[in-house]
Structures are given as C-alpha cells and as structure tokens.
Amino acid sequence: PSAPPTPSQPPSESQSPVCRTHPGLPQLQVRSNRVYGGALRMRDSNKPLAGTEASGKIPNRDSGIDSPSCGTESEGFPNEDPIEEEDRNDSIATDTELCVTAGNKRDSTQDEDSDLDEGSSEDPESLELKVRSQKLLNIAKELLQTEEAYVKRLNLLDQVFCARLTEAGIPAEVITGIFSNISSIYLFHHQFLLPELQTRITQEWSCNPRIGDILQKLAPFLKMYGEYVKNFDRAMELVSTWTQRSAQFKSVVQNIQKQEVCGNLTLQHHMLEPVQRIPRYELLLKDYLKKLPASAADRRDAENALELISTAANHSNAAIRKMEKMHKLLEVYEKLGGEEDIVNPANEFIKEGHIKKMSAKNGTAQDRYLYLFNNMVLYCVPKLRLMGQKFSVRERIDIAGMEVQENVKQNAPHTFTIIGKQRSLELQARTAEEKDDWIKVILATIEKHKQNSETFKAFNISCSRDDEHTPDTPVTHPSSEGTAGGGTEPKKKVEVRNVFLFYFVSYLFTVV
C-alpha cells in the first residue's frame, strides 16, 4: 500500500468522498469512522486511538454522525484480518468530514451573527412596541379562550342539567330556585359577547387591535349577574336538599356528572363559575390597561369598560359577602335553638368563642360561650345535645354604653371585665393572647358603634334644623276644596323624614 499523504498535500478526489464503495468490499459503504456490515478499525500513524484494544481494534460505536444511506445495526466479523488500505482511506474520509462539518458550523454561526446584527440595528422603540403589542394580543387571546370555556360551562348548566331535570319532572319552582336566570346569562354570552370577541381577535385584530369598545358596549348587561349571585346560597341548599330527598333528582344529576363533559366535577362546582366570572373579567381588563399605551385609541373605551365591570364585580362581591353574613347568622340562630331573633340585616357577626366566667360568690370559673355582634354581646351557657353543640342565651348586653377593663389578679390570670347597662361580667380567657384579642375586638366594636351613632345624631340634627327654617307649604285637601283656610300637612313631611331615616339607619348598619 502507498504511504498516506502528508498534511501539506490535499487529498485526491478518489480519497475525499464522504461516502464511497471500498474496492476490496464491493457492497461495503464507509462513512466517517463507522463501517456498516463490518468491523471498525482505525489507525493514525503508529499511535492507537484512546480506548482501543491491544490488537488495534475498537468497539463499534456511533461517532455521532449518522449515515442517511444505512439504518441497520452493525454486524461484527471477529476473525477478519486487518486491511491497511481501508484503515488509511477511513482516516482520510474522517478528516474530510470533520473539515466539512466545521465549515458548516462556521457558516451557520456567521448567519446567526448576521441576523443578530440586523436585529440590533432595529430601533429600540420599535422593538418595545412590538413586544407590547404581542402582550396585548396574548391578553386578548386569554380572554377569548376563557370565554369559550365559560360558554361551554353555561351550556352544560342550561342545556344539560336544567333541561334534563325539567324532563324528569322536577317542579318548575325548584328548577328556577336552583338555576335562577342562568338561561339569560347563557344567551348573552353565547349569542353576543363570545361572537364579538371571536370576530375581533381572530379576524380583525391586525387592522383593529382593541377589545375595550366591545366590553364597554356589553358590560351593562353584566348586571344580570346580581340576581344569580343573590340566589346562589339558596340554590346550593336546594341542590343538597333534593339530592337527599329525591332519588330521581339524584339519579339525573349523578348520570350527568359521570359524563366526560363534566370533567369529574359536581353540579355545585359548575354553578359556582358564574359567580367567579365577573371578577375574572376585571382582572384581565386591569392587566390589559397596564400594558396599553396612554395614547392608544382603545384607552378610553377600556377604562370605561373597567369602571362598568368593576361596578358589576362590586355588586357580586357585596352579594357574596351579604350571603356569607346571613349564612353565619343562620348558623348562630340554629345553635341558639331559635331563642334569639338575630337573623336581621342590621346584625353583623364579629367573633365567637369559649370563655370562663368568674363566680362573684366563690371565685370559681364556669364554662361559658360568647357571641360578639356589631351591636350586642350574647352571654351563653353550653347545653348538651346529641345533634351538635347548642347554647342557651343567659344575658344580652348592648354595645352602646359598654366598657371593658383589664384585671390583674395573681390567683386568676387572663381575666377582664365587661361592664354593660344590663350586667357586668368578669371573664377569664385561656391564654394572655386570647384575652388581648377579646379586649381588642370588643373595644374596636365599641368605637365603631360610637362613630355610627354620632353620624346618625348629626344627620338627625341637620334634618331638624331644615324643618325649623323651612316653612310648611299649605296643601289643600281634595275633600276641603272651597272651604276657608284650606289645610296644611306638617305631619306628612315628618313621616317622609322618618321613613328616610329608617332606610338610612339600615344602610348604616349593613354597609358602613
């Protein structure tokens, strides 16, 4: 065999092909340092490669460069003799491929650098505008995707649950009590809001990238959610009651819940989604406004839409809080066995807990229970019942005129005294932290009650002064027409004022 060429000599055309046919093995293809269908042997001068055996052979391994012409695994011939010409040509082919690969990498790197140079030459303001536009589009797409999923849930509630239960003969008043105005909500989203969003975001966004005008136009219709939210608590109770008492109702609901469209979720879970939807609109629109330029054409519409949606969200949240408060009042009412008339919108539950009452006679501690409201404290005695804990009201103490004093007694730690118009109580908490918390909450309740009372007095005085300085307008009764003197109605204005004061007080205690 001829000697291998020196590094200064370029390889000949017969040596340089990447993939060729070996003259000694007519059907054998050689590529890189892999021999498909034969053993692999390579030598570089007289130095064996790292990992070679003493015979100069190395295991058949993938070099990392796959051959597109052969896809089969290699087969070894352990008794085959070395072929010097093959070794030399393999080395040449390998060197050639490495040069080609390196050249390709350099070309690729140069192309990337060229792209980066072109990108870096772009105006930074234009880049920022593109990024911001893409973020706005992402928010719009999120709104569309969530709206599509939400409409599917509304369809499930109205066209599946409600329709199947109606077909099963469940009374109409029960259906209405459970689903309220879900049909109107579904029609609004299915026929108006969703089609508008789909058209704008999927077809018109390139020439009209905005969503504020759509939301501003349709946001007033979201007020219909108020009725659904107010009825939600009652709807949950009806579902629970009819599931327990009606086998047919339970069977229909469970069969629907097993379907794939329900996603292994209950009817109650799907009924909760309309309550949560309005606050989600608000969050998405706030995020949209954060990324919207101040000079954008959609800025004003988006801000107006956010104001309308925030109002609707406040109504929903207020209804939710009101339901939660009423639900807690009902719980307390049941624990008291209906002894106290506390289920009143003017009553607001604040705190409850076990406490001990110090006896004035012998100083012993007795187990008691306190309920703190915005206008009273209920001092209760525990009663044993088979169906849960019950209490009997021993004393009702008004917040008006109440005082709280902290006691320091070595033989009775963690004690404090409530001084009220009806009665004074010396109470003992279990820990110092618990005592401090009771004192802090009661004092805050007393202070808030004083502020509300002062506001009411100031308003009442203002109304009285207006009555003194404004003369009563004589009003002639239809029955006294033609009679001398006519008649006046000073009492009518007083009655109107009293009615207004009544509503103002109700508002004061329920909202303020």
Cα–Cα distance, 59 to 43 (Å, whole number): 14
> Among 28, 58, 49, 46, which residue's Cα sits nearest to residue 84?
46
Cα–Cα distance, 290 to 283 (Å, whole number): 11
Contact 358, 415 (CB under 8 A): yes
Query: In sequence order, what are the residues at sequence separation of 6 or more whose Cβ sits closer than 8 angstroms to the Cβ of residue 78?
Result: 39
Cα–Cα distance, 218 to 192 (Å, whole number): 8
Q: What are the C-alpha distances in Å from 269 to residues 157, 170, 262, 274, 306?
A: 11, 21, 10, 10, 27
Per-residue confidence (pLDDT) for residue 128, from 0 to 100: 85
Three-state secondary structure call for residue 368: strand
Per-residue confidence (pLDDT) for residue 97, from 0 to 100: 47
- Per CATH, the architecture of 126-331 is what? Up-down Bundle (1.20)
Partners of 352 in the beta sheet?
371
Cα–Cα distance, 143 to 248 (Å, whole number): 38
Chain centroid offset of residue 437 CA: 32
> Among 426, 422, 381, which residue's Cα sits nearest to residue 402?
422
Asked: is 349-446 a CATH 2.30.29.30 domain? The reply is yes
In this structure, the number of other CB atoms found within 10 A of the CB of residue 400 comes to 13
Cα–Cα distance, 356 to 431 (Å, whole number): 12
Q: Which phi and psi (to 5°) does residue 216 adopt?
A: -65, -40
Three-state secondary structure call for residue 439: helix
In this structure, the number of other CB atoms found within 10 A of the CB of residue 504 comes to 15
Q: How high is the mean pLDDT in each 10-residue block of the chain (512 residues)?
A: 50 46 45 42 44 44 41 44 47 46 46 45 79 93 96 96 95 95 96 96 94 93 88 88 92 93 89 90 94 92 93 75 76 80 82 90 87 93 73 91 88 90 91 94 94 79 62 44 43 47 48 42
Contact 404, 449 (CB under 8 A): no
Residue 52 identity: T
Per-residue confidence (pLDDT) for residue 117, from 0 to 100: 45
Query: In sequence order, what are the residues at sequence separation of 6 or more whose Cβ sits closer than 8 angstroms to the Cβ of residue 298?
Result: 209, 210, 211, 212, 213, 292
Residue 108 in tokens: 């690729």
Cα–Cα distance, 348 to 394 (Å, whole number): 20
Per-residue confidence (pLDDT) for residue 35, from 0 to 100: 40
Sheet holding 390-398, edge to edge: 390-398, 376-383, 365-373, 349-358, 424-428, 415-419, 403-406
Phi-psi region at 221: left, alpha or beta (left = phi > 0; alpha = psi -120 to 50)? alpha
Per-residue confidence (pLDDT) for residue 209, from 0 to 100: 94
> Among 497, 438, 493, which residue's Cα sits nearest to residue 462?
497
Contact 202, 292 (CB under 8 A): no
Contact 394, 380 (CB under 8 A): yes
Query: In sequence order, what are the residues at sequence separation of 6 or more whose Cβ sits closer than 8 angstroms to the Cβ of residue 276?
Result: none
Contact 155, 186 (CB under 8 A): yes
What are the sequence ranges of the domains in the chain?
20-110, 126-331, 349-446
Residue 427 in tokens: 């109470």
Per-residue confidence (pLDDT) for residue 298, from 0 to 100: 94
Contact 439, 416 (CB under 8 A): yes
